[in-house]
Structure 1
Amino acid sequence: MPIRINRARLKSERHDRGWSQDHLAEASGVSVRTVQRLEKGEGAAYATVMAVAAAMSLPMSALVTPAGPARRVTPLTILPDISPALARYRDLGFLPVETGDPGCMGLRAGNYHIILCTRAFMTSGFQTGSIEPLVGRTIPYVWVESVDAAAGAYARVIEKVVTSAGTREALVEDEGQWAILAEVMP
């Protein structure tokens, strides 16, 4: 049975290293066409996933998509100003993961990731009233296969939006536990 690859993570890891698809193929001993198929989310044999993960010095689990609706969880902190928190994380050795918007910055250290967003960035997509109770808090940002399917796990769907980055997102809550569910638009 083919193993499902987290194509976004694979592509992100490759870009973070400044590697081309050709370089990853050469480093892992697979064909360029195989790398292209993996980045499209096609399944792969165990040996292929192991080779690619080893070439990137990652555990295989970092590139494998879980079987359930959740694909990856990243802590997301919403702040009035991300500059002080950004400086603290950089001082701790976190590296920036550019998003193309100064109001939202990804950071990573090893296999750990965090997202910092300003109130203004979040209210450019979600209504201010939906976001205001979350300012100063960290909530899970959960990549899912289907927002609609995953939202059923929560008591309340506060709001659904389509972002300018091409994701469909839902702000959800259940017994005080908030999350943002996100899926890549086809």
Structure 2
Amino acid sequence: MPKLQIINEHQLDDWVSKNDREAQTLIVELISKLVSVSCPTATHQSFPLHVNQPGSDGEVMTEFGYKGFVPDGRSFWEIGTGEKAGNKATKDYRELTAVIPEDVRKESSFIFVTPRSSAHDWQNTWKEEGVSKWTKTREDQNEWSVVKVINGALLTDWLSYFPALGQWFACRILGLRSGFETG
């Protein structure tokens, strides 16, 4: 499938930094749309657009996931737009692990999404503070079937597989014209 990158991770990170409140809702909407187009045969998908609700930010059940972004089976999603993505991921991981029964967790995936750029915050390195180390530490705890982080770089990569959705998103955050307007 050809890719078309309409927005890059630095543009996304810059917008989120300047529009934190709006980003909290729009990023959830984006993830919901990405999951919908990536997994059209999902049997369950829920991403409530209201922020600060109890429980996970999203839940997906699909027999067929999508290339390293949406895992097969059941997944619970947490989304954080703040500057300290690692801290938010740790807090959400602990809270969700405490409320989801062990038998459900062992057959489910934990996905944390941050639109923040890996160049500015929580880099994808094996350093103590890196995403890779964070993920490996949680995988080694064997509390979930899969633990994954999708940062700004991966999020814009995922978006590049769906150019129409990328254009919609770029229009929303960058104020670009969609090309569909008349006059």
TM class, shorter-chain normalised? under 0.3
Greater relative contact order: 1 or 2 (C-alpha under 8 angstroms, separation 6 or more)? Answer: 2
TM-score by length of 1: 0.25
- Higher relative strand content: 1
Larger Rg: 1
TM-score by length of 2: 0.25
